[in-house]
Amino acid sequence: MEYIAASIRDYIARNILFSGEAYPHPDDASFLDLGIVDSMNVLELVGFVENHFGIEVGDTDIVPENFDSVSKLAAFVARKRRQA
């Protein structure tokens, strides 16, 4: 799961924060609260986890419980991979 979390942090840092640095927030920090995610970015995140981890994300999966922090998203990806 650490590998999953690391990939997610890296993706967000590079493609959403456009930073060359490491992801600067704790894993459990809410993206919504931090204001770093909007409706466009969420779709990009969906695309990223589908392509990078080979999982399928349904419309009803796109909820804060699964997507709103690094740890939530990593847990969601891990669950999906176990189901596959």
Partner 1 sequence: MLVQEFLEKSAARLPEKVCLVCDGRRWRYAEVDACANRLAHALRDAGLERGDRVVVFLPNSVEAVVGIFATLKAGGTFVVVNPTTKERKLAYILDNCRASALLCSGRQQELAATLLSEVPSLRTVVLTGKEESVHRSPAMLSYDRIQEEWPAEPCAPVQIDLDLACLIYTSGSTGEPKGVMCDHGNVDFAAASIISYLKNVEDDVVIGLLPLSFDYGLYQLLMTFRFGGTLVLEKGFVYPAAVLERMQQERVTGLPGVPTIFAVLVKMDMTPYDLSSLRYISNTAAALPPSHITELRRRFPGVAIYSMYGLTETKRALYLPPDQVDRRPGSVGIAIPGTEVWLEDDEGNRLGPGQIGELVIRGRHVMRGYWGDEAATARRYRPGPLPGERVCYSGDLFRMDEEGYYYFVARRDDIIKSRGEKVAPKEVENVLYALEGVVQAAVIGIPDPVLGQAVKAFVVVDGRTLSEREVLAHCRANLEDYMVPRQIEFCRELPKTDSGKIKKSALR
Each residue 59-78 as x (binds partner 1 by CB under 8 A) or -, in order, gives xxxxxx--x-----------
2 binds partner 1 (CB under 8 A): no
For every residue of 14-56, DSSP letters joined together read HHTS--SS---S-TT--HHHHT---HHHHHHHHHHHHHHH---
> Which residue in 37, 45, 40 sits closest to 76, CA to CA?
45
Q: Find the shortest distance in angstroms from Cβ 44 to partner 1.
A: 11
Question: Which residue is it, tokens 């709103």?
Answer: 68
Q: Find the shortest distance in angstroms from Cβ 2 to partner 1.
A: 26
Find out whether 84 and 46 touch, Cβ atoms under 8 Å: no
Q: Find the shortest distance in angstroms from Cβ 73 to partner 1.
A: 13
26 binds partner 1 (CB under 8 A): no
Binding-site ranges for partner 1 (CB under 8 A)? 14, 17-20, 32, 35, 37-40, 42, 59-64, 67
